[in-house]
Each structure stands twice: as C-alpha cells, then as structure tokens.
Chain A
Amino acid sequence: MLTGFLQIVLYLLINNCYISEVLLLKVGIVGIGITSFGVHKEPFYNIAYEAAKKALEDAEMERHEIDNVVLGGYDVAVGRTISNMYTAPAAGGYLKDEIRVSDDAAYALALAYMRIKSGIFDVAMVLGYGHCSETPMELVELLSLDPFFHRDLGISYQMSYAMQSYAYRMRYGIDDETAAEVVVRARKRASKYEYAHVREEVTADEVLSSEMAIFPLRKLELPPWSDGCVALILAEETIAKRISSEPVWVEGLGWHTENYYLGSRDLAELFSTKKAAEKAYKMAGCDAKDVEAAEVMDLTPYHHLMALEALGFAASGRGKEVVESGFPVNSSGGALCTNAHGTTGLFLTASLALQIRDGRDRGIASAVSGYAAQNSIVTILGV
C-alpha cells in the first residue's frame, strides 16, 4: 500500500511539476578558450576566432553544434561601431542566432545563461573581446561623461577609480604598503598564469617608488590596457553532461547598477558589487563562507580590497585581512595584470572556471564597468 501511495505521489510530481522541473535545469560551462593577452597587431577577428576555436577544441565540439552566439565588448574599446559585425562570424555566428551585450562580457555570460535557462537555446558560444591598443582608451572614455555635469571636469576613467581609492583609503586608514602588497602578490600569481598580460614580478619597493600616476595611484598600481579574447561554451544540463564529464555549473548570477552621478555616491564602497553579490548568493543558495576561490576585477589595489568586502569576505575596511589570510583571490593575477576593456570580467570568470576544473568546489567572480564601478556583475560557479 505504501508503495502504491509513493507511486501516486511520484506520478503527480512528474506530471504536475514538469514545468518547475524545466526551470530547475542547470546551465554549465563545457568549453573554455582564452587567447594570450597583450598587444595583438594582426586583424582582430583572428584573435576572436582563436578564442572560439580553442573553446570548441576544449569541448571537443564542432561549430555546428552551437545554436547561438552571445558576444560581449565595447565599440569604443575596439575602435569601430557595431563591433559584433566583425566578431560574430569569428565566434562561429555565421547564419546563427547572435546577440551582443555592450558591456563587460561577464554580462554576456548572464544573457547566455538566461537564453538557455528559458529553454529557447541549448548551447551558446559566449565570446568577449577587448582591443585596447586600437584606440586611446583614456580619451574615448572621456566621451562617456554627460555634457552637463561631468564632461567639463575632464575626469578620466582611471581618475574615477583613483577617487574611489582615495575615499576608501581615507575612510579606513589604508596605507601605501598594503596597496603595494596587493600588487606584489598579483604580479607573482600572474607570473605563473600563461594567459596574463603583465607577468613580471615586482617588489613592494618598486611599487612604492614608481611614478605617481593619479593620486593616490602609482604607475605600478594601475592596470594595463590589453588586447585579447575569451570564449566560453555554455550548455543546458543534459547536453552539458554529454559533452563534458565535469561541467562547471553556473550557480549564481546577480547584476546591479548604481547612480551615474559621482557626486551622489559613497565612493568608498562598491555598492553595486555588494548588491549584485547579494543576488548571486541568493540564487546560488550560499554565502561567502561556502566559497573557495574568488576572482575580482581589481582595477586598482584598493578595488581588490573593496571587492572582497563587497563580496562578503570581510567587513568594510578589513579586506586586507583576506589578503593576509592567503585565501585564493585572483590566481589569474586579476585585472591589475590583464585588462582588455570589455572582456576583463569574462577573463576572470573563465580563469575561475579553470580553477573549479582543477578541484575547487565553488568560486565567485566579480566584474565592474562604468565610471567608478557604476555597474557590477557577480557570477558564482561550482561543481
């Protein structure tokens, strides 16, 4: 009788809960392709092609097995408008369904996730691109300033990050040595990561004696402008399991946008990252203590600390304790060593996925975009 009862319950579950079962479907990363980052002089679609090809080879797949392409990158960061025109075919988009997110490509991963989660598509090629050597980044980013309040101030992109660094430093009494230590550690890790752009190790003295670039940031505390592409192949659960014996699952996603007006914000906190992380943790059903590794988009050493705090690894102003603890943050070297504007966040997410493949159970990646980290997206990956 008990068996009969269970059968009825099972029958009801299977037949009535079909839709919710579909909604519970997971989405996994089954292919990873990262190009070298640095200055690329050949036609840039070749670099995009290289990343896509590597991801397909990694997944042991052919182009025709992809049913849609989601691109991520900025027009200004590659020096031409509608930049998905030349990256789409390179990413395998010929006669396929294709869309482009015009922000850090970490957002492209989120859109690809939704396209698969909805059941509309099965397998997506996510490709992020950044070609900073094509254009004077500082100048074109000045054009993002609105013509009434910000533009006449001539605040460069890096200046907005320096303003945040200064605010954070002042509020929490962070000294030069702490910031220098973040750079030293980042460079050390990048020296061991084949895809990183700047891989020369530096000492704290070298950082502290480097030229003052934008107060309080010294030259060695600024990220490089890099060229490179990252491709990830995402697939719905059942297909992912056929493609790969160990897919890296997308467990949580959250993104958030802060006030555009710099004067209306608390610059000493990464509020958009904090809100994005809350959403991602909620979706993944976990919190910071369940996470084994992090990749944060540290456009300055101070942002390294602020991001760790926003992600919940430390209370405000105490991010340096996470650094000292040896918790694995930015095994890739982070944005301080590789920064292809438009795909820096996806580069970090892909680097995190590689770490999950290497044995970590769960990791978190955060990316920022816009002046003074106006926008942020947080991705949680796991096994």
Chain B
Amino acid sequence: MKRVAVVGVGQTKFRTRRDDKTHPELTREAVSRALEHAGITMDDVDAFVFGTMDPFDGINCPDRWSSTAAGFGKPFMKISTGGTTGLTTGIAAYQHVASGLFDVVVAVCTQRVGENVDAQPVLNTAVDPIYERYSGVGAISVAAIQATVHMQKYGTTEEQMAWVSVKDHENALKNPYAHIQKRLSVEDVLSSPVVSSPLKLYECCPRSDGSVAVVFASGEKAEEIRDNPAWILAESSISDSYFVGDRPDLAVWDSLTIAGRRLYRLAGIDDPKKDIDVAELYSPFTIQEILELEALGFAEKGEGAGLAEEGVTFVDGDMPTNPSGGVLCTNPIGATGLVRLGEASLQVMGEASNQVDGAEVALAHAWGGTLQFHALMLVSSHKKLRR
C-alpha cells in the first residue's frame, strides 16, 4: 500500500452566515490557504474530492458551482454521507492517492448551514417517512435520548456534561477559525435554556458557514513538500442499521467501538489511551464526547462523564480532546469531519493553534445519519506507530 500524508490544511473563519462570500469563494478561500500551507500551487494538484451535505446550502449539488473554484479542469468527485461527509471526503481523497492513480489530491468541504431557516427539518427528511419521520427525529432529539439513557444507566450528571462544554469553549478561544468564542462557566451552561431535555443551549453546537481543505500527497511527494507531514496510519468507517429504534442500547455507541477496534487493528494500536495523544471527536452535543471517549476505549463504560471535570480531556490533561474547541463551537455539518482531520493533522505537525505538547498520534472522528455512521482517521508525525 502506498504511504499517504496530509501536507496542507486550510480553513475559513466559521460564522452563522458568511454573506461576504459565495459558495465557490468560500471554497477558494480554504483551498488557497491549504495550498499555501503546503507551499504548492493549483497546477500541482492532480484531482479534487468535494464534500457537502446537499440540501443545507440553499442550492442542490453546490459542488457543481463550487468546482469553478477548485476542481474545474481536473478530475473531481463528490462525496456526501451526512455528518461523516467531511471525513469520508478525506478518506476518499486518501484512497485516490493510495491507489497510485494520483499523487496530490485536495479534499475540500464547504457548507452553508446558514442558508436554512432551521437545519433539523431538513435532517428529518433523511428518516423513513412511515416509521420515524413524524416522531420528529433529528440530531438534537436523538442526542437527548442518548443523554437521558446514559444518565439513567450510569448516573451521569448535568454538571459533568456541562464541563465538556466549558472545556470546548475554553479551547475555542485559542482557535482563530472557531465560530463560538466565548468563555463559559459550569453555571452559565446549566442556566442556559433547555433545547431538548436534558441538553441545554450551551451543550449544543451552532450552525456554521465555512469551508475547509486538506491536501493529501503520496509518500515521496509528501517528503518533498514538507518536513513534518501528517502520515495517515489508518482509516475506518462503519454503517449501522437505518432505524434508530433498531439500535440495541443508546447508552453505548457500540458501532463506534467496532469501527475503533478495526482502526486500532490496522494501525497496530494496543492501548488507545497510551498510543493516541490527542483526539478530535465529532461531538456536537456534550453527551456525545462522553459516549465517544467510552466507545473508543479512552474510558471505561460509564466513566467517560467525569473526564472533563477531572481535567483529563483539557489540552494539558492526559487525553486532550477537541483542543480546537470541537464541534460544540463550530459545526458546518458536511465540512465538520474534515475540520477534525485538519486539526488532528496540525497537532501532529506541531502547528495547531492550541497545540498539545509533543503530540505524535492524533485521532479524527465523525458520526452521521441518525447515529448510523462513523468515520475515523489516524494521523501521526511518524510513518509507523512508535511506542
């Protein structure tokens, strides 16, 4: 298998609306920054992979329009898999290079959730019109069920969940691209209005507009391009059953456990807590970071809830999680997964805005559908896992 590395990352500033730029202009902003970061030009790019979640941008197939900024005149492929889109776009770009067909490929995801009055009714069209649609299933409602079940089963408290939000918001203050930049206390979170019980406003992500681009290069090219590429160790995706009601237990995210185990096997990881230095997880709701840390083996089942409160997941803790401020502070839905990969890559390059000291192995994660999909990528400052 060909070695592939991330050699450039570019992001736009994320905001509720980016009325200052059109879809292609946002795309171009991210791509230009990624190319500049890699020190290459558009001519060096062999192909583009574009990711977006279709109905959110107020335009169908915005990739066709946005290709004028990135991809026009080259091979161009469009990926869309719901919330995982950003990361599956990265995975597809990685596979473009790993196949040997292309040497330098740019993954770019642009999303303008601000074009919608409300994202949840759009998301609701994804679920089955006969069984689940009229229950109003969307992202927030299923996350609220996860929180309720986790609280009942493991005694997780609202304060513990609030600490996740405090930690992410603290981290976002250092990230110039983050959407919500506001210092919060546990009291602020707990006293914010309930959105979907037990989740409160500051436990839920914003809806963001923006774009992110990541440059992938084959081994030799990557070493030519920069001294500190982020080598891709492994990737893994999983697809669960369609109906939320078919999931055996919403207090655990067992499909993520399976995907994680597959990823660790591919990368040769025995103990994720020891071998992984930092994680960028897709947790638009506080409870989900807790579930993800447990599912991925960073905490025992039921014990993930205390990690933020104990300081473990803060940037100077033992398991820094979402040092970028995470999805809780920035969520351009179909681009969010690629932001996770970009931030994970910057961590192992040693160039992150909220750098974890000595980070060598970083995990990027995204979930999508109504808790149906997971995608994972593992990057490292070394070509192989070092212990």
Known contacts A74-B61, A254-B75, A257-B74; decide if A95 and B258 are in contact (CB<8 Å): yes
Given contacts A74-B61, A85-B369, 8 further A-B contacts (CB under 8 A): A75-B80, A76-B55, A81-B82, A99-B91, A118-B1, A147-B58, A257-B67, A260-B64
Verify A84–B82 contact, CB threshold 8 A. yes
Q: Smallest CB–CB gap between B114 and chain A, Å? A: 14
Residue of A76, A97, A113 with most partner-chain B CB within 10 A? A97
Cβ of B165 within 8 Å of any chain A Cβ, yes or no, is no
Cβ of A8 within 8 Å of any chain B Cβ, yes or no, is no
Q: Which of B61, B79, B101, B258 contacts A101 (CB 8 A)?
A: B79
Chain B contacts for A22, CB-based, 8 A: 1
| A279 and chain B: residue at smallest CB distance | B75
- Complex interface: stretch among A183-191, A312-320, A332-340, A368-376: A368-376
Verify A256–B238 contact, CB threshold 8 A. no
Verify A100–B80 contact, CB threshold 8 A. yes
Interface residues of B in 176-223 (CB under 8 A from A): none
| B83 and chain A: residue at smallest CB distance | A82
Interface size on A, residues (CB 8 A): 62
Bitwise, B264-280 to A at CB < 8 A (1) or not (0) is: 00000000000000000
Bitwise, A69-94 to B at CB < 8 A (1) or not (0) is: 10000111001111111101100011
Chain B contacts for A74, CB-based, 8 A: 54, 61
Chain A contacts for B158, CB-based, 8 A: none
Bitwise, B227-271 to A at CB < 8 A (1) or not (0) is: 000000001111111100000000000010010000000000000
Q: Which of A82, A120, A260 contacts B82 (CB 8 A)?
A: A82
Number of A-B contacts (CB under 8 A): 181
- Complex interface: stretch among A102-110, A197-205, A222-230, A357-365: A102-110
- Complex interface: stretch among B28-36, B121-129, B166-174, B357-365: B121-129
Bitwise, A115-137 to B at CB < 8 A (1) or not (0) is: 10111100000000000000000
Chain A contacts for B81, CB-based, 8 A: 82, 84, 98-100
Verify A370–B64 contact, CB threshold 8 A. yes
Interface residues of B in 37-63 (CB under 8 A from A): 53-55, 58-61, 63
User: Can you report 30 A-B residue pairs in the complex whose CB atoms are below 8 A from each other?
Assistant: A22-B1, A74-B61, A75-B54, A76-B61, A81-B126, A82-B369, A84-B81, A85-B82, A85-B126, A85-B373, A86-B128, A89-B241, A95-B239, A95-B258, A97-B236, A97-B237, A97-B239, A101-B80, A111-B92, A114-B98, A115-B95, A117-B101, A118-B2, A144-B59, A148-B22, A253-B101, A256-B75, A257-B74, A279-B75, A375-B76
CA distance A308 to B128 in the complex (A): 41
CA distance A97 to B54 in the complex (A): 22
Verify B75–A81 contact, CB threshold 8 A. no
Q: Smallest CB–CB gap between A274 and chain B, Å? A: 13
| B65 and chain A: residue at smallest CB distance | A146
Cβ of B317 within 8 Å of any chain A Cβ, yes or no, is no
Interface size on B, residues (CB 8 A): 60
Chain A contacts for B23, CB-based, 8 A: 146
Q: Which of B59, B72, B78 contacts A259 (CB 8 A)?
A: B72
Verify B72–A260 contact, CB threshold 8 A. yes
Cβ of A261 within 8 Å of any chain B Cβ, yes or no, is yes
Cβ of B71 within 8 Å of any chain A Cβ, yes or no, is yes
- On B, residues with C-beta under 8 Å from A are 1-2, 22-23, 53-55, 58-61, 63-65, 67-68, 71-82, 88, 91-92, 95-96, 98-101, 122-123, 125-130, 235-242, 255, 258, 368-370, 372-373
Verify A146–B59 contact, CB threshold 8 A. yes
Verify B60–A114 contact, CB threshold 8 A. no
Verify A255–B77 contact, CB threshold 8 A. yes
Verify A23–B78 contact, CB threshold 8 A. no
CA distance A258 to B72 in the complex (A): 6
Q: Smallest CB–CB gap between B100 and chain A, Å? A: 5
Chain B contacts for A147, CB-based, 8 A: 58-59
Verify A257–B76 contact, CB threshold 8 A. yes
CA distance A259 to B65 in the complex (A): 9
Known contacts A81-B126, A114-B101; decide if A99 and B237 are in contact (CB<8 Å): yes
CA distance A147 to B60 in the complex (A): 11
Verify A94–B68 contact, CB threshold 8 A. no
CA distance A118 to B67 in the complex (A): 26
Chain A contacts for B373, CB-based, 8 A: 85, 98
Cβ of A239 within 8 Å of any chain B Cβ, yes or no, is no
Chain A contacts for B95, CB-based, 8 A: 111, 114-115, 118, 120
- On A, residues with C-beta under 8 Å from B are 22-23, 43, 45, 69, 74-76, 79-86, 88-89, 93-103, 107, 110-111, 113-115, 117-120, 140-141, 143-148, 253-261, 279, 283, 370-371, 374-375
Verify A120–B1 contact, CB threshold 8 A. yes
Residue of B2, B61, B67, B128 with most partner-chain A CB within 10 A? B61
| A253 and chain B: residue at smallest CB distance | B101
Chain A contacts for B68, CB-based, 8 A: 259-261
Q: Smallest CB–CB gap between A256 and chain B, Å? A: 6
| A141 and chain B: residue at smallest CB distance | B60
Chain A contacts for B71, CB-based, 8 A: 257
Verify A85–B370 contact, CB threshold 8 A. yes
Q: Which of B22, B77, B99 contacts A103 (CB 8 A)?
A: B77
CA distance A370 to B68 in the complex (A): 13
Chain A contacts for B22, CB-based, 8 A: 146, 148
CA distance A88 to B72 in the complex (A): 30
Known contacts A82-B368, A84-B82, A95-B255; decide if A144 and B76 are in contact (CB<8 Å): no
CA distance A148 to B59 in the complex (A): 12
Verify B60–A94 contact, CB threshold 8 A. no
Verify A89–B80 contact, CB threshold 8 A. no
Chain B contacts for A115, CB-based, 8 A: 95, 99
Q: Which of B79, B96, B100, B241 contacts A100 (CB 8 A)?
A: B79
Chain A contacts for B235, CB-based, 8 A: 120
CA distance A111 to B98 in the complex (A): 12
Chain A contacts for B96, CB-based, 8 A: 114
CA distance A103 to B50 in the complex (A): 11
| A94 and chain B: residue at smallest CB distance | B241
Verify B92–A144 contact, CB threshold 8 A. no
Known contacts A85-B369, A86-B128, A93-B239; decide if A117 and B75 are in contact (CB<8 Å): no
Verify A98–B59 contact, CB threshold 8 A. no
CA distance A283 to B75 in the complex (A): 14
Known contacts A118-B95, A257-B71, A375-B64; decide if A89 and B77 are in contact (CB<8 Å): no
Q: Which of A82, A95, A113 contacts B99 (CB 8 A)?
A: A113
Verify B64–A374 contact, CB threshold 8 A. yes
Known contacts A82-B81, A100-B80; decide if A143 and B98 are in contact (CB<8 Å): no
CA distance A370 to B127 in the complex (A): 26
CA distance A97 to B71 in the complex (A): 27
Q: Which of A23, A253, A260 contacts B65 (CB 8 A)?
A: A260
Verify A256–B239 contact, CB threshold 8 A. no
